Structure 1
Amino acid sequence: MGKKNQYPVSYTICSNTYALLPYMDGHRLLTRVIEDRSEFLVEESVYKIVAKSCSFYRGSLASATLYAQKAIGVKHKPPIIVGEYYGNPLIFFPTHSPKNKDSIWFNFDAIDLIAADDSGRGSLVSLSNGVVVPADISPIALRNQHSFTGSLRRYFKKAQRVHNHRMNYVTKRAFPPRSQQPLD
């Protein structure tokens, strides 16, 4: 009897996740996960990993998509904030429609360079860990996706600063220093 390859059955995106790529193993669609220091296969589709990761961080892929569409006005293939990790957004963007089984999802922070491949029709994405990922999308389209993702990060960070400023103001007004509080 042949030995069957055993892969993890699920995966949650985290800050050291760099890319999620579809991978065919015979007739099974798996996901190739590229992290900062490792690579492995998972027995889940890329789309399912992204959706379940959004749920893990107490959101949903649908709400993350709507947030991005409203924030930066991108309706087709918007980048999404999967979750927040110690105050920093985990922002990923797809190369194709999110439900497309051929779509690769990249971590915005993990990309060093997007270049054209030898044919000029595809891209070579250099990640921060030295791995180069080929993608069947033009470099211009991929750079646009990356640029939209940067806009989403700036929008999120600005909203975060405004929220923190308001919270500091409310806290200072609601709770005056002890020296100003009346004594019983």
Structure 2
Amino acid sequence: PMSVTVSGGAGGRNGGPKRTNSDDAINKAVDCANVVRNKFTEGLDFSTITDWTTELRPSMRKLRQAMDGLLKTARLTHSVFRVQEDRRTAQKACNVRYRRHVCFSQALTALVTALMAKLWCQKPDPVFLLVLTTVGPLVSFEGLLSYYGDEVDMWGDMVVAVEDLQTVGFTMARCPPNTRQEQAV
């Protein structure tokens, strides 16, 4: 049986309860259980190690260099995989771009042809010329398409081509009247 006597003041070890000799074996077992063991520092002489940062600095430098290399490799690999496209996806994007260019060129040709026909084939209207030189050509397009079958795609092509015409700028230059008559013949 364990007998513990509590006394005031400086009693037992660490100011705690005073233990008797009958349970020294139990006390040693408890003290051994309270000791925290670290298998990494076990056997090291801490008096010889003056500064742990100087000991670890070369290893940390190597680790940082290795991590930088790994990061560069990961970024390069990621960018290569991002650049690689599926063949069908790349072909589809190329076809859409080609259709857009074709539709834009047709819309631009229609606009320039109508504008030139208005300027060359009719008597000059001062209000039209004023609007043309200040605002630019005001154009409206009419499409006789429906939303049935393949015409839906044509409708979309026309809408995109007309929207792309917003990027076109015209420069009007005045020409003498006699030049116009000579070129018309």
What TM-score, normalized by structure 2, do the two folds share? 0.25
Normalized per residue, the structure richer in helix is: 2
Normalization by structure 1: what TM-score? Answer: 0.25
Larger Rg: 2
Structure (1 or 2) with the greater strand fraction: 1
